[in-house]
Chain A
Amino acid sequence: MESAEVLRCTGLRKTFGDRVAVDDVGFEIAPGETYGLLGPNGAGKTTTISMICGLLTRDAGRVTLQGRELDTTTIDVKAAIGFVPQEVAIYPDLSARENLRFFGKLYDLSGRELDARIDRILETIGLADRGDERTDAFSGGMKRRLNIGLGMLNDPILLVLDEPTVGVDPQSRNAILDSVEALASEGMAVLYTTHYMEEAERLCDRVGILDEGTVKAEGTRRELISLVGEHDRLRIEAHGDLAAAAAAAAGVPGVEEAAPRDGGLDLLARDARASLADVVRAVDETGAGITSMEVREPNLEAVFLHLTGKALRDEG
């Protein structure tokens, strides 16, 4: 049976002894969509994707990949999954090329096709000129990139990345995020777990907020933010009749509040970006001159705090 979504999981549950690690988790991912599981350490992200990838038996629930059942005994369906584990999972005494070749063979790739894919992956992850070096000589960032390259080797339909940027320097992190964005734009479905709010906001079309093993809320960033009643903040630096400008801006649909403050205007809007053009026009018509503008949108950190009463990351 044809299935519109790439991945569908419903009612996933896993217990370890008396401890419930994951309870009634479910979501779907469409082709080309990046779905984020956002939650703090210990929220159940890795347990969830371990069940999805068939690494861990589940106590309850169902996982289908393009409509086909997937569990720990499934073999063929797994060929459509690309997996990037949280820890770097490469053989240190093999070269990058040898690592890619070994895992490629496990996906029934061989000969010229395998060689071509290896070359393409090495190019993509920026290791084309270091492919024949043993990976124990690589920097942490290079190892991370190879870790991701191994997940892409089989041209998966679903790419699962489990916190791939933990412990990565900002430059490599940016490169990793760029790669994931590029893959999604090519139509790959991506399941991305993270406890970095910025990554979820940048990459994910939809986000599931996971805490203590359950999905507290799910949706697009905008949907999640509106769910908790948060508004965008718009700061306009301007000169002229600021009181009149504020009154004009307050009349724009979507603007909840506008007030002159500190040589400018502070506005609260349901969707500041959507209202921006109308606000500029209204202020301009009052004769006030705008010198700069800044949109401050509420973020997922605030949503998480609102939903769980705690911060995403322990400050230390």
Chain B
Amino acid sequence: MGDAWTIATKDLRRRLRDRTAVLVALVLPFGLAFIFSLTLGDVESRGFEATYAVVDRDASGHLPAEFTALLERLDFVTLREAATEGAAESLAEDGTVDAVIVFPEGFTERVQGGRGGAITVIADPDASISSLVAESLTTSFASNLDAIGLSVALGAEAGRPTDDALVARAQAVAPVAELRTADADDRAVTQSSFFAIGMAVFFLFFAVEFGVRGLLEEREEGTLARLLVAPISPSSVIGGKALASFAVGLVSTTLLVLATTWLLDARWGDPLGVTVLVLGGVLAAVGVTALVATLATTTAQAGAYVSIVAVVGGLLGGTFFPISQAGFLGTIRFLSPQGWLMEGFQALAYGGTVGEIAGPLLGVFTIAGVTGSIAWARSRRMVAA
């Protein structure tokens, strides 16, 4: 570990002297986030509007009505009526509504029985931000219902008959979504948050890239042979590179989180969730870029490969523009670590907790583990001729 640290500190010293590293890791992402939020924040301030339709197939239950009432209280939401699911889908397809929220038959009864229920959100693929908002509102509402269902289920499992008073008390809990009714200022914060997150995630892959192609750089500079003749293990050399990458990624992302919070009023959300997701994201970025670098034979080639992966992954993951959660793109965005990171960070920015980003965390840590392991094995082969 000592030798790896020695190599990492040497690399970090060199990168600090190379001003392009500071530019890519800090100045560019912050600058672009600032410009985007300034430009698009102005558009946002003219007013965000969304049109939704709620299909209530749970005629005997009261929960769909509660959700509809919640939407009616939001001044940026316009509700359209739709008698059937088919009619609502047609409205979404022709763009009349941005999203359709469907409550299935027997939904209220299932929730109150502690058996849970599924609310379906059908989005207009061309209305990505409105779709995201619809999904967020629905998720918040569902989270609250899960808590109610759990209380009821626990009561029943204890051997007592379902307590109507408990159910009634649980139902009286204020819906979380109601607390998140956004005013104009909040919406501006959301906009700057999106671009702060997007730029931090996008440039993270460029920030960590220098370290992982460091092995190739050492080989080109002739210093790899000198390192390998020294009484240290080849793993220390590879570990040193990974450690330096990780340190740069962690420091640059942390500084970006702090700077965008203080200077751009970006909202990142739950600090614990952000910390864990940043750690996972940096590890995933190191793993992916290291793997890509091992496919190259020169630093120039590695730089080009990493750029391609970072740009394609960034676009696919929605770092510049929100990706519709429906359709093909909505699914394949999770092939990229950027997609998982955007999903997780946006959930946190909308008020989610570390527990609510289990999926994105699993995604980024899995990508980090798989790509990191393969990159490590390939790097070992690279240094052991």
List A residues at the B interface (Cβ < 8 Å). 50, 53-57, 72, 75-79, 81, 83, 85, 87-94, 98, 102-103, 105-108, 150
Among A55, A90, A93, A94, which residue has its beta carbon within 8 angstroms of that of B225? A55
A78-B14 in contact (CB<8A): no
**Additional 17 contacts, C-beta under 8 A, given A55-B225, A85-B225, A105-B6:** A50-B225, A55-B229, A55-B385, A56-B385, A57-B384, A72-B385, A75-B233, A83-B226, A83-B229, A89-B222, A90-B221, A90-B223, A91-B14, A93-B17, A106-B3, A106-B227, A106-B231
Q: Which of B3, B225, B233 has the most CB of A within 10 A?
A: B225
Q: Does B18 contact A (CB under 8 A)?
A: yes
Q: Does B230 contact A (CB under 8 A)?
A: yes
A85-B222 in contact (CB<8A): yes
Closest to B14 in A: A93
Among B10, B228, B384, which residue has its beta carbon within 8 angstroms of that of A102? B10
B14-A102 in contact (CB<8A): no
Among A50, A79, A90, A93, which residue has its beta carbon within 8 angstroms of that of B231? A79
A94-B13 in contact (CB<8A): yes
Closest to A81 in B: B229
Bound-complex Cα distance A97 to B228 (A): 21
State the Cβ distance, B158 to closest chain A Cβ, in Å.
62
State the Cβ distance, B7 to closest chain A Cβ, in Å.
8
Q: Which of A76, A85, A98 has the most CB of B within 10 A?
A: A85
B231-A53 in contact (CB<8A): no
Closest to B5 in A: A105
A106-B222 in contact (CB<8A): no
Please indicate the chain B residues that have their CB under 8 angstroms from the CB of A81 in the complex.
Answer: 229
Q: Does B43 contact A (CB under 8 A)?
A: no
Closest to A89 in B: B222
A72-B384 in contact (CB<8A): yes
A106-B230 in contact (CB<8A): yes
In this complex, the interface size class of chain B, counting residues with CB under 8 Å from chain A, is 20 to 34
Bound-complex Cα distance A98 to B74 (A): 63
B14-A89 in contact (CB<8A): no
B227-251 interface code vs A (CB 8 A; 1 in, 0 out) = 1111111000000000000000000
Instruction: Take A56-B385, A94-B13, A106-B3 as given contacts and tell me if A76 and B231 are in contact as well, using a CB distance cutoff of 8 Å.
Output: yes
Among A50, A72, A78, A88, which residue has its beta carbon within 8 angstroms of that of B230? A78
What is the count of residue pairs linking A and B with beta-carbon distances less than 8 angstroms? 66
Instruction: Take A55-B385, A91-B10 as given contacts and tell me if A75 and B231 are in contact as well, using a CB distance cutoff of 8 Å.
Output: yes
Please indicate the chain B residues that have their CB under 8 angstroms from the CB of A93 in the complex.
Answer: 14, 17-18
A89-B223 in contact (CB<8A): yes
Please indicate the chain B residues that have their CB under 8 angstroms from the CB of A83 in the complex.
Answer: 225-226, 229
Chain A to chain B contacts (Cβ below 8 Å), 29 pairs: A50-B225, A54-B229, A55-B228, A55-B229, A72-B384, A75-B231, A75-B232, A75-B233, A77-B231, A78-B231, A79-B231, A83-B226, A85-B225, A85-B226, A89-B222, A90-B223, A91-B10, A91-B14, A91-B221, A91-B223, A93-B14, A93-B18, A102-B6, A103-B230, A105-B6, A106-B227, A106-B230, A106-B231, A150-B226
B42-85 interface code vs A (CB 8 A; 1 in, 0 out) = 00000000000000000000000000000000000000000000
Bound-complex Cα distance A78 to B225 (A): 12
Within 8 A of A (CB), among B195-245: 221-223, 225-233
A87-B231 in contact (CB<8A): no
State the Cβ distance, B156 to closest chain A Cβ, in Å.
63
Please indicate the chain A residues that have their CB under 8 angstroms from the CB of B17 in the complex.
Answer: 93
State the Cβ distance, B217 to closest chain A Cβ, in Å.
10
Bound-complex Cα distance A78 to B14 (A): 26
Bound-complex Cα distance A77 to B3 (A): 16
Closest to B9 in A: A102
Bound-complex Cα distance A72 to B384 (A): 7
A89-B225 in contact (CB<8A): yes
Please indicate the chain A residues that have their CB under 8 angstroms from the CB of B385 in the complex.
Answer: 50, 55-57, 72
Please indicate the chain B residues that have their CB under 8 angstroms from the CB of A92 in the complex.
Answer: 221
Among B6, B14, B227, B384, which residue has its beta carbon within 8 angstroms of that of A94? B14
Closest 6 CB pairs of A and B: A89-B222, A87-B222, A79-B231, A83-B229, A106-B230, A78-B231
Instruction: Take A72-B384, A91-B10 as given contacts and tell me if A106 and B225 are in contact as well, using a CB distance cutoff of 8 Å.
Output: no
State the Cβ distance, A108 to closest chain B Cβ, in Å.
8
Please indicate the chain B residues that have their CB under 8 angstroms from the CB of A77 in the complex.
Answer: 231
Instruction: Take A91-B10, A94-B13, A102-B10 as given contacts and tell me if A54 and B228 are in contact as well, using a CB distance cutoff of 8 Å.
Output: yes
Bound-complex Cα distance A103 to B17 (A): 19
Q: Which of B229, B230, B385 has the most CB of A within 10 A?
A: B229
A88-B222 in contact (CB<8A): yes
